Amino acid sequence: MGTNRPLIVASALSGLVEGRPATEADASPAVGPDSSRGGSENLTLDYVAMGVRTVIVRFSPSVHGRGDWGFVNFLTAAARKQGTSGYIGNGSAAWSAVHRTDAARLIRLGTEQTPAGTRLHAVAGESVTTKEIAEAIGRSLDLPVVTVTPEDAGAHFGFVGHFFASTMTASSNATQQLLSWEPTGPTLIPTLIEDIDAGAYAA
């Protein structure tokens, strides 16, 4: 305590607001079993008053790139298993996304420069629809793309179906302005869709 050393807390964009992209100004719900990740954001922000430089980094649902073992990897595995690349309903649910290299740079900047108590958003693509994601996976694996009813989502996708039905989007404008962080991704494939099309999940 009292050292001003950085404490970087990994968090998520889900459950913050409804009907619009979340911003860095949106506080996490109160501490408790119903709050995001058990209220870890608010619990660790309490340490700011004790001299700990707590910084919250909220990650996009897709932190994409070769070697990603997150949600898109599970969606791709489900497409291989089912023989079709699916989206739920009309596919209008949307996710934010960021390339892993941009997320890594943001963590470094957060560790080096960010004031205590700051919330950062690791977001490059603010809104990518689930239908666009499914279509890209279909192109990558040469599989047909189909709609899946909400009732069948669990059987088709497994646990990731719950998340694929949800809109989880956010802005990173405040983060970019604070740290002069410009997410660009690696050369030629900065976006999630371009990454899928380039074969990042096909192997």
Residue 43 is predicted with a pLDDT of 86
The answer to whether 201 and 139 have CB atoms below 8 angstroms apart is no
**Would you say domain 6-194 falls under CATH 3.40.50.720?**
yes
- Domain assignments of the chain as residue spans, ordered by start: 6-194
What's residue 9's pLDDT? 92
pLDDT value, residue 42 = 86
Measured between alpha carbons, how far is 94 from 106 in angstroms, rounded to an integer? 23
* pLDDT score at 38: 55
Q: Global pTM?
A: 0.92
Position 35 scores a pLDDT of 61
Phi/psi for 125 (5° steps) reads -85, 115
Strands 6-12, 53-59: pairing is parallel
How confident is the model over 185-200, as pLDDT tens digits? 876 668 999 999 999 9
Of the candidates 38, 14, 44, the residue with the CA atom closest to the CA atom of residue 26: 14
- Helix-strand-coil percent breakdown of the chain, rounded to 5? 40, 20, 40
**Per-10-residue mean pLDDT, the chain, length 203:** 81 88 89 63 89 95 93 97 98 96 95 94 96 98 98 96 96 97 80 94 88
Dmax (CA) for the chain in angstroms is 57
83: left (phi over 0), alpha (psi -120 to 50) or beta: left
pLDDT of residue 5: 84
Residue-level pLDDT at 184:
87
